[in-house]
Amino acid sequence: MRRDIFQAISDPTRRAIIVLIALQAMTPNAIADNFNTTRQAVSKHLRILTECELLKQEQRGREIYYSLEINKMKEIDKWLEQFRKIWETRFDQLDKVLSTIKKKKK
């Protein structure tokens, strides 16, 4: 089954994993230590994030380290940008209305 990045970030645990590894690469055990769940559950989340290409794996000796795939995160930002523009336009319109109301009260 093909998953997309929005399925990946829909889960709060997966979002928390992304936050954890945003600053530094971590091993699965180090990631799992931050959650009150089984290592198998964390492994499943890591697999989904990796399948969606939000995480990349790097072998260092006997350990696997997971790190954030920044370019894939940009896809999310690009999708959100269209809404950001709408929100900013609406906020600008609201500012104008509030300014007009404020001037009328003076």
* Segment 30-74, tens digit of pLDDT: 999 999 999 999 999 999 999 999 999 999 999 999 999 988 888
Is the pLDDT confidence value at 1 over 70?
no
- Answer yes or no: are the C-beta atoms of 77 and 29 closer than 8 Å: no
* Segment 13-27, tens digit of pLDDT: 999 999 999 999 999
My answer on whether 95 and 84 are in the same domain is yes
- Answer yes or no: are the C-beta atoms of 31 and 21 closer than 8 Å: yes
| pLDDT confidence of residue 103 | 83
Higher-scoring residue by pLDDT: 94, 31:
31
My answer on whether 88 and 64 are in the same domain is no
In order of 82, 85, 96, the CA distances from 44 in angstroms are 31, 35, 49
| CATH number for the domain harbouring residue 28 | 1.10.10.10
The parent domain of residue 80 ranges over 70-106
pLDDT class of 9 with cuts at 50, 70, 90: very high
Question: What is the tally of structural domains in the chain?
Answer: 2
